[in-house]
Amino acid sequence: MSFTEKYKPRKLSEVFVSKEKILMLKKLILERKSVILNGPTGSGKTSLVYALADELNYDVFEVNASDQRNKNNIDSIVRPSSLEGSLFGKGRVILIDDIEGLSGTKDRGGVQALANLLEESKWPIVITTTDAYNQKISILRKRSGLIEIEPFDSLIIFNILKKICDNENIIYDETALKELSRRASGDIRAAINDLQNLTSKNKELGKESLENLDDREKKEEIFTALNLIFKSKEIDKVINSIEKTNIDLDEAFLWIDENLPLQYLKSKDLFNAYENLSKADVFNGRIVRWQYWRFLVYRNFFMTAGIALSKENKYINFSGYRRNGKLLKLFWAKQKNLKKISICEKISEKNHVSVKRAVKDIYPFIKLIYKSGKTIEELGLDEEEIEYLRK
């Protein structure tokens, strides 16, 4: 039996959601209103609904991604059970689990049918989603309450895992268990699954077990693909090099971009290769813009065969491949820039200019003034912001 099933909270007292949110949900359900639970994967949305239904002694009628939720099915399956009374006069909750599964083509009209149902249903309808602000379901949002479910704190995950270990007689290294909890980034289901996978063999979680979990397999896959692209010129092999792996094109693109200049040492080769990578990127832009996915074929071609054929002669040197650090850098820069943006918002307010213009034209001068030790009280900057400017 899977741990996730075995240790699923069955009672409200076992659920890790704040009291006030539970009360909010309870109130809406008792008033037979519909509600959207918005929260990341594995934050316990579905379990919450079941546990609450258990407490209220309600039945749960669940429709999930494995059922097709097109207009017909909504009307023929969900609708009747939302209108009719239940057996033995028990209350009922209709749970539409993970509404994202409602794909554009297969579940056509499903959202609209569901929206109509929200108005008519005799029973409360609960919809779970990881993206309540998606345009596709805006019509549902307008007709329902919204409760935000937070991801699990890693400490809570740690405590849950610890209990499971004790219960299953698993020997664990505390640091490893902490690391495992942290890596789950708030997804309790993933954490429990990882724990089960790692300990299934010998009921032990040691320090080195986590390495197995790491994307070791993935790395090998991408290295093989990169080898084909950078070292060979056989177009038919190269074309499928990425498709054969589990790596998505975006990630592969970053790997290629990062390692290209380390592999192609002649500037003519490098120039040609970047020309082709640039073309692949142009097709990517067109996919995003026109939502025309067949362009993927061309993107893939230019970033695989295009790169392979850009070299005049094969390179035989071997050097390892580097992971692309761009995303991490972007993340940190964004964190750093938050302060700058908040300063520029204040400038913008006082100075009748847009934030963008404040960033470009005014901020550099304000910074110089603060660096010289002067302050401009009018801007109303707080201590932290002033310190940031003087740094």
For the segment 110-129, give every residue that binds other proteins (CB under 8 A): none
Taking the least distance from each CB to other proteins, the nearer of 317 and 372 is 372
Tell the burial category of 64 from Cβ atoms under 10 Å away from its Cβ (0-12, 13-18, 19+): middle
Show the tokens assigned to 189. Answer: 């289901």
Q: How many whole angstroms from its chain centre is CA 207? A: 27
Binding other proteins by CB under 8 A: which of 56, 139, 353, 386? 353
Give, in degrees to the nearest 5, the angle at Cα 166 between 210 and 156.
Answer: 65
Q: Nearest approach, Cβ of 312 to other proteins (angstroms)?
A: 13
d(Cα 17, Cα 48) in Å, to the nearest integer? 8
CB of 387 to other proteins, least distance (A): 17
CB 44 within 8 A of CB 77: no
Nearest to 160 by CA among 5, 2, 7, 6: 7
261 binds other proteins (CB under 8 A): yes
- DSSP-derived letter for residue 151 is P
Q: Is 362 in the site for other proteins (CB under 8 A)?
A: yes
> 344 near 363, Cβ under 8 Å?
yes
Note whether 187 and 151 are within 8 A (CB).
Answer: yes
275 makes contact with other proteins (CB under 8 A): yes
156 is a site residue for other proteins (CB under 8 A): no
Question: How many chain residues interact with other proteins (CB under 8 A)?
Answer: 52
Among 1, 87, 316, 333, binds other proteins (CB under 8 A): 333
- Cβ proximity to other proteins: between 206 and 285 the closer is 285
> Between 35 and 344, whose beta carbon lies closer to other proteins?
344
Give the E-state strand segments of 139-231 in sequence order. 145-148, 171-172, 204-205
Name the DSSP class of 87.
Answer: G
Among 75, 168, 204, 257, binds other proteins (CB under 8 A): 257
Q: What is the DSSP letter of 24?
A: H
For position 385 contacting other proteins by CB under 8 A, the verdict is no
Q: Does position 354 bind other proteins by CB under 8 A?
A: yes
Alpha-carbon gap, residue 127 to 46, rounded angstroms: 9
Q: Are 25 and 34 in contact (CB under 8 A)?
A: no
- By C-beta, is 149 or 229 nearer to other proteins? 229
Among 274, 298, 301, 315, binds other proteins (CB under 8 A): 274
Region binding other proteins by CB under 8 A among candidate stretches 37-45, 68-76, 192-200, 369-377 = 369-377
If binding is defined by CB under 8 A, does position 196 make contact with other proteins?
no
Applying CB under 8 A, among 6, 326, 382, 384 the residue interacting with other proteins is: 326
- Binding residues (CB under 8 A) for other proteins: these are 257, 261-262, 267-268, 270-271, 273-275, 277-278, 281-282, 284-286, 288-289, 326, 329-330, 333, 337, 340, 347-348, 350-357, 359-362, 364-366, 368-369, 372-379
